[in-house]
């Protein structure tokens, strides 16, 4: 019973941390503009970057990743990783909580962002930091070849499962991944219809080789 209560507390902490709209706060403080008023209306770090440049963009990105990383990291250190079913399900929920908080923030009337930075923060926490360079590599490669952001991030998440599940054969990793990819697909559902948008340099190269 005590472990269930502890897990519930950490889940709540993760949700509250994830729900803090740092990009909106940074935009209001540094840019004097609501980041939701530009681009796709998403209260995330990318729109903070578009609104005010790289300084508020990087600050927002760091804070948005951090709100996923820190509660999950400290929860893992405090609770540990028991092999029991309740503990494994609880750990999956702990990792998932900041993502839910970001996606449906009570501070934004239960509207939120696409949960990408918070997702990355949770993955960085449960992989001991390895998800940071792996994520940079995967996102960079996909961004190099095509422009549909939804395709890029979904590919990255599927590769996360392929890379990290064999390294950490724990049920909670798979459970967390299922929940994470479900939210990401839901949040990007309108963007998949455009399909893969190949970069112009690939089109030109193909024409030269044809």
What's the half-sphere exposure (Cβ side, CA atoms, 13 Å) at 203?
Answer: 7
What is d(CA 117, CA 137) in angstroms, rounded to the nearest whole number?
15
Q: Looking at residue 32, what is its pLDDT?
A: 77
- pLDDT at 2 > cutoff 60: no
Model confidence pTM above 0.85? yes
Nearest one of 99, 114, 98 to 187, comparing CA atoms: 114
The terminus-to-terminus CA distance of the chain in angstroms comes to 67
State pLDDT tens for residues 35-56.
887 777 788 888 888 888 889 8
pLDDT digits (tens, 9 = 90+) for 64-120: 999 999 999 999 988 876 767 788 999 999 999 999 999 999 999 898 888 899 999
Ordered DSSP codes for 38-64 = STT---SHHHHHHHH-HHHHHHHHHHH
Residues pairing with 198 in the sheet: 146
**Residue spans per domain, the chain:** 2-209
Q: Name the token pair of 99.
A: 């993502």
| Cβ pair 206, 159 in contact under 8 A | no
């Amino acid at each position: 019973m005590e472990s269930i209560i502890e897990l519930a507390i950490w889940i709540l902490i993760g949700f509250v941390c994830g729900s803090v709209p740092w990009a909106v706060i940074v935009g209001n403080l540094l840019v004097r503009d609501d980041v939701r008023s530009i681009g796709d209306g998403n209260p995330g770090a990318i729109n903070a970057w578009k609104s005010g440049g790289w300084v508020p963009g990087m600050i927002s990105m760091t804070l948005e990743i951090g709100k996923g990383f820190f509660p999950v990291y400290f929860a893992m250190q405090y609770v540990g990783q028991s092999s029991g079913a309740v503990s494994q399900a609880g750990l999956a929920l702990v990792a998932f909580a900041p993502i839910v908080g970001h996606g449906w923030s009570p501070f934004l009337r239960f509207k939120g962002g696409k949960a990408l930075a918070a997702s990355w923060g949770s993955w960085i926490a449960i992989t001991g930091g390895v998800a940071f360079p792996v994520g940079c590599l995967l996102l960079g490669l996909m961004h190099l070849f095509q422009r549909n952001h939804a395709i890029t991030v979904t590919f990255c998440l599927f590769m996360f499962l392929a890379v990290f599940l064999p390294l950490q054969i724990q049920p909670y990793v798979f459970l967390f991944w299922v929940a994470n990819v479900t939210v990401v697909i839901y949040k990007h559902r309108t963007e998949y219809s455009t399909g893969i948008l190949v970069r112009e340099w690939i089109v030109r190269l193909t024409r030269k080789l044809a």
